Structure 1
C-alpha cells in the first residue's frame, strides 16, 4: 500500500497546476454544498419549529375516529342492515371521565398534557359585538404545552388564578374594541350564559386570526358558561420528542378511545412538500460536486495517457493490475480528502457569514436572521458526497491504467 500511495503523490505533485484546479473544484463544491444545504435545512427546521412549537404535538378531541356501531348492526352482523334518519342521542358533549384519561396520559414518559374546554362566545363592549373562541384552561398546565405565555405583552396567564372572572385576549381584538388591561367587558356563551369579565392579559402571536379571535379564561369558569360541568373537549399534548408524536397518538387513542391527531398527521401535505424540496435541493448541490469531479477525471485521464510507459514499466517489475488501479484511486482519494478538509473550513465560514445576514420579510415588523442548521450530519454528508464523486471520477482512469499491456507498450517504445 505504501508504494502505491507514494507513486500516487508523485503523480499529483508532478502536475501541480491541474491538481490545484481539481482541488479548488472540490473545495468550492463542498463549501457551496454546505452553505446551500445548511440554509435550506435551517429554513426547514425553523418552519417545523414554528409549526410544532406553536401548536400541540398531539390533540385529543371528544370524537371517535369511526362512528359507534349501532345495536341493529351488532344484532345482525351478517345481515343487510340499512339505518336511515338516525338522530344521535342528545348528551352533553365532552371527553367522558376526562380526569381518569388525563391521568393515563400523564403517566406516559416524556408527555405534558393540558385539559381545555373550547367553545364559541360573543364578546360585547360599548355596543360592539365580536364572535370569539373562548378556551377554558388551567394556567399551570397550559404553560407547559403552549407558547402563549411567551407571547404575552401585558399581564400573564397566572392572573386568571387570581381573578376567576378574568379573560386574556389578543392585541388584535383589543385594538378593535379599544380595550386595555383592567377594562371590563361582557362575554355571552353559546348556551346563553352571560358574564362580565375583566381583561387581565394581552398577547400577540403575529397571527392575525389568532390575535383577533382567540381568548382564554379559567377552565372552571368556561365549564359554567358552556354548561358542561366536569367536562373538557380537548387534551393538548406536548412531547419531549416531537417526531414521536404519531406513535404516541396511536398509543393514546388505543388506550382511551378518543380521537388523537398528531401534528404529523395534521400536516402531511406540508411535510410532503418539504420532502420534495429537499430532493430538489440535494440534487442541485450534488450537481456542483459532480461538475468538480469532471476536473478530477480530466486530470487523472491525462496522467494515464502521459504515464502509459511508466505504467508498463511498473507492470513489468511485478505490479499487478489491481496495484495500478489502486495508484489512481489513491489519487482520487487524496484529492477528495484534502478538498473536503478545506471545503469544510470554507463552508463553515460561509455558513457563519450567512447566519449574520438579517432580513425583514414583508408584513413583519422585526428583522430576523437567516436560519442556518449546524448539524454534524450536513458536514458528514458533504464529505461523503465529495469522496464518492472523487472516487467515481478516479475509477474510469484507474481501470484504463490497469488494462495497459506492458509488452505492447514497451515493444512500441523500442
Structure 2
C-alpha cells in the first residue's frame, strides 16, 4: 500500500498545475460550505434562542385540541358518520383544577410551571389608546419559566407586589402610549372593568410583537381586570432540556386533556423555513464541490491516458487490476484530502473576516455584526463530502485504467 501511495503522489506531483487547480477548486467549495453554514446556523440558532428565551417551552391552554365526539358519532362509532355545524357548548373558560395540575408538573424532574391569566385590554394614557395583552403572573413562579426578568431595562418583576395595581410593559408599548416609568395609565378590559395602573417596570426583548403589545400584572389584579376571579387560562412550563418539549407536551395533553403546545409546534412555520434554507445552502455548496470533483475526474482521466505504457509495465511486474484501480483511486482521495484541509483553513479565515463586518445599526441585542456559528461538525461534514466527491470522481477513470490490456498496449506501442 505504501508503494501505491508513493506512485500516486509521484503522478500528481508531475502534473502540479492541474493538481493545484483541482485542489483549489475543492478547497473553495469546502470554504464556501463552511462560511455559509456558519452564517445560516448562526442566524437560526440565535433566532431559536430568542424564541426559547421569551416564550415558554410548553403552553397548556384552557381548550381541547379536538371538539368532543357528538352523539351521532358515538352511536355509530364504526359507521360512515360526519357531523357539521355543531354549535360549541357553553362552558366556563379556564383550566380546571389548575392547582392540582401545577403540583403534578412541579413534581417532575427538570420542570418548572407557572399559572397565568392572559387577556386583551385597552391601555389609555391621556388621549392615546393602545390595544395590548395583559398577562397576570405570580412573579416568583414566573421568573422560573420566563427570562423576562433579564430583559428588564427599568424596575423589577417583584415591584408588582410592592405597588398597588402595578404593571410592567414593553419599552415600545410605553413609547406608543407616550408614558414612562412611574406614570399612571388606565387599563380597560372587554368586560368593561377599568383600573388605574402604575408603570413599575419596562422590558425590551428584541421581538417587536412582544415589546409593542405585552404587559404584566399580578395574577390577582389581572383576574379583577378581566372579571374572572380565581381563573387561570394558561400554565407555562419550562424544561431543563428543551429537546424534550414536544414529547412531554404530548404526555401532558394525554393526561390532562388540555391542549398543550410545545415551542416547536407554536413555531412550526418558522422551523420549516429553516429546513428549506438548509436545503438551499447544501444544494448550492454541494454543486460547487461537484464542479470541483469534475476537475479531479479530468486530471485522473488525463493521467490514465498518458500513463498507459506505465500501466502496462506495472501489470507486467505483477500489479493486479485491483492494485491499478487502487492507485488511481488514491490519487483522487489525496487531492480531496488536500483540498479539504486547505478548505478548512480558508473557511476559518472567511468566518473571521465575516465576523469583522459591522453594519452600524442599533439592535436590541447590541450586536451589529454577523451572527456566526463556529461548529467543528460543519468542518467535518464539508471535509467528508469533499473527500467522497473526489473519490467518486476518481472511480470511473480508475476502473478504466485497471481494465487496460498490457499486451495490447505493448503491441500498439511497437
Taking structure 1 as the reference length, what is the TM-score of the superposition? Answer: 0.91
Alpha carbons of 1:326 and 1:111: their partners in 2 closer, same or farther (altered >3 Å)? same
Alpha carbons of 1:194 and 1:349: their partners in 2 closer, same or farther (altered >3 Å)? same
- The aligned residue for residue 221 of structure 1 is 221
- The aligned residue for residue 297 of structure 2 is 297
1:395 and 2:390 matched: no
1:203 and 2:203 matched: yes
Taking structure 2 as the reference length, what is the TM-score of the superposition? Answer: 0.91
CA contact (8 A) 1:149 1:157 kept: yes
- The 1-side partners of 2:348 and 2:269 are apart by 33
Per the TM alignment, residue 119 of structure 1 is displaced from its structure 2 partner at its CA by 1.6
**Bigger shift: 27-36 or 14-23?**
14-23
- The aligned residue for residue 383 of structure 1 is 383
- The aligned residue for residue 42 of structure 2 is 42
- Taking the TM superposition and a 5 Å limit, the aligned residue runs for 1:6-405 are 6-69=6-69, 88-91=89-92, 93-126=93-126, 128-360=128-360, 368-405=368-405
Alpha carbons of 1:206 and 1:14: their partners in 2 closer, same or farther (altered >3 Å)? closer
**What's the secondary structure of 1:232's corresponding residue?**
coil
CA contact (8 A) 2:326 2:398 kept: yes
CA contact (8 A) 2:167 2:197 kept: yes
Per the TM alignment, residue 379 of structure 1 is displaced from its structure 2 partner at its CA by 0.9
CA contact (8 A) 2:204 2:364 kept: no
Per the TM alignment, residue 286 of structure 1 is displaced from its structure 2 partner at its CA by 1.1
- The 2-side partners of 1:413 and 1:83 are apart by 86
Alpha carbons of 1:166 and 1:402: their partners in 2 closer, same or farther (altered >3 Å)? same
- The 1-side partners of 2:115 and 2:166 are apart by 18
CA contact (8 A) 1:8 1:328 kept: yes
Per the TM alignment, residue 381 of structure 1 is displaced from its structure 2 partner at its CA by 0.9
CA shift digits 1:314-368 (9 cap, x unpaired): 1111111000000111111111112211211111111121122222569989652
- The 2-side partners of 1:113 and 1:29 are apart by 48
- The 1-side partners of 2:128 and 2:303 are apart by 85
Query: How many residues are matched?
Result: 413
- The 2-side partners of 1:24 and 1:104 are apart by 60
**What's the secondary structure of 1:358's corresponding residue?**
coil
- The 2-side partners of 1:182 and 1:312 are apart by 92
- The 2-side partners of 1:403 and 1:312 are apart by 11
**Bigger shift: 148-157 or 199-208?**
199-208
Note the residue ranges of structure 1 that are not aligned, 5 or more in a row. none
Alpha carbons of 1:134 and 1:7: their partners in 2 closer, same or farther (altered >3 Å)? same
CA RMSD of aligned residues (A): 2.6
Per the TM alignment, residue 143 of structure 1 is displaced from its structure 2 partner at its CA by 2.5
- The 2-side partners of 1:305 and 1:195 are apart by 89
Alpha carbons of 1:364 and 1:117: their partners in 2 closer, same or farther (altered >3 Å)? closer
CA contact (8 A) 2:8 2:330 kept: yes
Alpha carbons of 1:90 and 1:7: their partners in 2 closer, same or farther (altered >3 Å)? closer
- The 2-side partners of 1:268 and 1:256 are apart by 23
- The 2-side partners of 1:274 and 1:267 are apart by 11
**What's the secondary structure of 1:369's corresponding residue?**
coil
**Bigger shift: 251-260 or 157-166?**
157-166
- The aligned residue for residue 4 of structure 2 is 4
- The 1-side partners of 2:406 and 2:238 are apart by 71
Per the TM alignment, residue 84 of structure 1 is displaced from its structure 2 partner at its CA by 7.7
- The aligned residue for residue 410 of structure 1 is 410
